[in-house]
Amino acid sequence: MAPPPPFGANSAAARDIANVLHPYTDLKTHLEVGPMVVTHGKGVRIWDETGKDYIEGIAGLWCAALGFDNERLVQAAVTQMRKLPFYHAFAAKSHEPMIDLAEMLIERAPVPMSKVFFANSGSEANDSAIKMIWYMNNALGRPKKKKIVGRWKGYHGITIGSASLTGLPANHRSFDVPLPGFIHTSTPHFYHGANPGESEEDFATRLANDLEQLILKEGPDTVAAMWAEPIMGAGGVIVPPKGYFPKIQAVLKKYDVLLVADEVICGFWRTGHYWGCQTLDIQPDILVCAKALSASYLPISAVMVNQRIFDALAKESNEIGTFGHGFTYSGHPVPAAVAIETLKIYDEMNMGAHVGHVGPHLQTELRRRFADHPLVGEIRGTGLIAAVELVADKSAHANFDPREKIGIRLTKLCEQNGVIVRSVANDSLCFSPPLVITTGEIDDMLTRVSTSLDELAVQLRREQIAVVR
């Protein structure tokens, strides 16, 4: 199909339409509308091919923690590329960047961890952790203890295993996932899930009971692990109710079910602490991280496992003769070198203090500017992660008909006004700006969003789409 105007025959947009299959995109509509072609970035801003600038309110995909022009990370890659551009970790081969990075992660872990396995994305890391848990239970003589618990609206990736963990319908439909053995429990969203008059504490207790009943229904001897993001990202920046994780962990411990913390979005100061686990009082058996590990300058992810898990892996691999899992690029020296430099920068910048300053400003300004807006139902978040949920009826917490695509419309208006944000479940507009953002840049970003939200309200009135205040 030939690209329509205004795409020129040899433009980047036309060549994209002709050749690229985009992730998370309406592929048919893309043939008609085409891409936004991004040319460069600086600080918290990016520019498209027309020269228009945008504040990147979601840090790309929750990930460009240090912005888009950090020269130290560029030089770390160049230096390592010249010294050792590639080597693998198979058959006990190693190199200093991988060793140093593993050591740094163990030192920074929120609970004692034993070893670090490296992969290239959060999806790969979660798939690796699934396989490790199955491998562990075979080593322990528990071949039936293999079922994995995710949560509805949880997001853990898009490979077959991680997509099965994920609890979002668009990630399941037509892909024939979840696979057998993957089960899901309740979403810890108080705004939509609480019963009338129910306190957060009581809601958390009910969710813990839901989990226990699910484990008992499946059979405790068949349930191996539960996955949880400290704060659910792509499901809508859902912050769990008070007491949720201690109650959940008590159930898991009772039935010897491992807890895997998916820190792919929450790790490295995003929630105001180094780890989301520290913000939400989580003691995981396995911790998975990616994204801000290298500020996303190069692909890398990590799986940290505790001693009990490693001992089982070591035992089984000795009997088999090898731990038959890994990737060509596991612990690749160049991304590892960039990740090392990233962690050093976080330390030197005192990133925790910076987020402790700008994070509350973001949270306060979101509520001050938008809480009373007729389209806004709930504002939630902590640190430098937040969401503004759009509703058709504020008092009833009722969302718009999904066919209206209200959230997507708002993101398009935001782009027109020079800010990139993301709409996810329930028309929730998500914010996760680069950690290096300033209060002034936050104010600029939210002013652009406010203009966009008001423009949307005018459009809905013209279209007679009902909004109940």
pLDDT digits (tens, 9 = 90+) for 18-48: 999 999 999 999 999 999 999 999 999 999 9
Domain-terminating residue out of 348, 375, 407: 348
Q: Does 9 reside within a domain?
A: no
Note the pLDDT of residue 266: 98
**303 shares its domain with 404:** no
**110 shares its domain with 240:** yes
Sign of CA dihedral 458, 461, 465, 469: positive
| Residue-wise DSSP of 248-259 | HHHHHHHTT-EE
Domain-terminating residue out of 348, 374, 392: 348
**131 shares its domain with 211:** yes
**290 shares its domain with 356:** no
Can you give the residue range of the structural domain that contains 178?
72-348
**204 shares its domain with 280:** yes
Note the pLDDT of residue 6: 53
Helix runs in 286-332, H state only: 307-320
**359 shares its domain with 266:** no
What pLDDT, in 10s, does the model give residues 292-323?
999 999 999 999 999 999 999 999 999 999 99
**141 shares its domain with 279:** yes
pTM above 0.85, yes or no: yes
Q: Does 335 reside within a domain?
A: yes
**399 shares its domain with 307:** no
Q: Does 23 reside within a domain?
A: no
**110 shares its domain with 236:** yes
Q: Does 275 reside within a domain?
A: yes
Number of domains observed in the structure of the chain: 2
**197 shares its domain with 293:** yes
Note the pLDDT of residue 5: 46
Note the pLDDT of residue 316: 98
Note the pLDDT of residue 10: 85
Q: What is the CATH number of the domain that holds 397?
A: 3.90.1150.10
69-75: long-range contacts, CB 8 A cutoff, minimum separation 24:
69/41, 69/42, 69/43, 70/295, 70/297, 70/345, 72/341, 72/345, 73/294, 73/295, 73/297, 73/338, 73/341, 73/342, 73/345, 74/297
Q: Does 179 reside within a domain?
A: yes
- Report the half-sphere exposure of 138 (CA within 13 A, side-chain side): 13
Note the pLDDT of residue 7: 63
Note the pLDDT of residue 1: 42
Note the pLDDT of residue 425: 86
Domain-terminating residue out of 348, 375, 399: 348
Q: Does 269 reside within a domain?
A: yes
Mean pLDDT in consecutive groups of 10 residues from the start of the chain, 469 residues:
56 95 95 96 97 98 98 98 98 98 98 98 98 98 98 97 96 96 98 96 98 98 98 97 97 98 98 98 98 98 98 98 98 98 98 98 98 97 98 94 94 98 95 98 98 96 81
